[in-house]
């Protein structure tokens, strides 16, 4: 791709945190808080389906987040407090497991996930299609189990009611494409060089801020004292050259370009996101 942004003046905003950061494509997909609501709504739909077969479905409890962290790590390590505490190591929060849950009976498992030997080709791709099919060959209490079980039914009711439903990964793949294109832009390459030179002055040799931990050899021990020292220098160098600002600016240019090219499908995705939000709110009230 031609580097069309190479001659544009650098107007990058100063960015030192990803908190509250909004990329152009963000309006076409769910925030973390919205996704939590969708997860709860899907669990309710799954339970409604399971009740038709005389079962109850209780999903494992998830940790809820008050802040949207979907862009955390998009510029590598950027938070001085995290760098000083964990270096290049990331603190992973795990969902608490539901303890003492009794194993499901075979009938319950079939109601939840359908036949064992299902392939992707066997599954209905929309709720409309599923309703036309009228269910699978499996029956419980005289009722036909949905193809793919209650899990598939709840997914389709929330995410793919009609055949024109936009794939959930559509916006994500546009983001990845824009990100890849941006990495070939001369302004990104230039700020990477400035960051690398700054790191060199601090005694660390790395050329790619997105692969710093690997290039510096901290894969196996990302929170060692030396890794913490390097991570702190990494954050300082990013701040000095405004790496996050330049990355954000250039990625936004490529995202806006892809929005322009794919606006029809994106508008449909946005409408469907609104409808999904309404449905989720009605279920989780």
Question: 134-143, pLDDT tens digit by residue?
Answer: 999 999 999 9
Alpha-carbon gap, residue 198 to 240, rounded angstroms: 8
User: Which residue is associated with the tokens 């990058």?
Assistant: 12
Instruction: Tell me the CA distances in angstroms from 23 to 26, 80, 274, one per residue in order.
Output: 5, 23, 19
- pTM of the complete model: 0.85
**pLDDT for res 1:** 43
Number of Cα atoms under 13 Å in the Cβ half of residue 44: 14
For residue 10, name the pLDDT band (cuts at 50, 70, 90): low
* Segment 21-68, tens digit of pLDDT: 999 999 999 999 999 999 999 999 999 999 999 999 987 777 666 666
- Percent with pLDDT over 70 in the chain: 89
- Residues forming a β-bridge with 144: 139
For residue 97, name the pLDDT band (cuts at 50, 70, 90): very low
Three-state SS at 265? helix
pLDDT over threshold 80, residue 90: no
Three-state SS at 55? coil
pLDDT over threshold 90, residue 112: yes
Question: Of the given ranges (58-62, 170-174, 179-183), which has the lowest mean pLDDT?
Answer: 58-62
* CA dihedral angle for residue 50, residue 168, residue 19, residue 236, rounded to 10 degrees: 130
Alpha-carbon gap, residue 210 to 202, rounded angstroms: 18
Average pLDDT rounded to a whole number, residues 272-285: 96
**pLDDT for res 98:** 45
Q: Which two tokens stand for residue 73?
A: 């790590």
**pLDDT for res 107:** 94
**Average per-residue pLDDT in the chain?**
91
- Residues forming a β-bridge with 143: 140
Alpha-carbon gap, residue 126 to 58, rounded angstroms: 24
Question: Of the given ranges (70-84, 142-156, 176-190), which has the lowest mean pLDDT?
Answer: 70-84
Alpha-carbon gap, residue 12 to 247, rounded angstroms: 8
Handedness of CA 97, 101, 106, 109 (dihedral sign): negative
pLDDT over threshold 50, residue 6: no
Question: Of the given ranges (2-11, 137-146, 160-169, 208-217), which has the lowest mean pLDDT?
Answer: 2-11
């Amino acid at each position: 791709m031609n580097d069309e942004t190479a001659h544009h003046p650098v107007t990058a905003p100063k960015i030192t945190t990803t908190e509250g950061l909004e990329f152009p494509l963000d309006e076409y997909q769910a925030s973390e808080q919205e996704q939590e609501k969708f997860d709860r709504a899907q669990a309710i739909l799954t339970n409604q389906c399971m009740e038709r077969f005389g079962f109850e479905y209780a999903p494992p409890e998830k940790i809820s987040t008050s802040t949207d962290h979907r862009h955390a790590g998009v510029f590598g390590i950027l938070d001085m407090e995290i760098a000083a505490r964990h270096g290049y190591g990331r603190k992973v929060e795990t969902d608490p497991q539901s303890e003492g849950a009794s194993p499901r009976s075979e009938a319950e498992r079939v109601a939840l996930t359908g036949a064992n030997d299902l392939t992707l080709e066997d599954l209905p791709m929309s709720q409309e299609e599923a309703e036309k099919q009228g269910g699978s060959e499996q029956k419980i209490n005289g009722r036909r189990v949905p193809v793919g079980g209650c899990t598939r039914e709840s997914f389709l009711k929330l995410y793919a009611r009609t055949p024109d439903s936009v794939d959930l990964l559509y916006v994500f793949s546009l983001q990845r494409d824009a990100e890849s294109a941006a990495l070939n832009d001369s302004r990104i390459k230039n700020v990477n060089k400035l960051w690398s030179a700054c790191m060199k002055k601090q005694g660390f040799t790395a050329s790619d801020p997105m692969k710093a931990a690997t290039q510096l050899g901290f894969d196996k021990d990302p929170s060692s004292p030396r890794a913490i020292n390097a991570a702190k220098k990494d954050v300082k160098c990013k701040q000095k050259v405004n790496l996050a600002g330049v990355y954000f600016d250039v990625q936004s240019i490529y995202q806006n370009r892809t929005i322009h090219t794919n606006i029809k499908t994106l508008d449909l995705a946005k409408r469907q996101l609104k409808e999904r939000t309404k449905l989720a709110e009605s279920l989780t009230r």
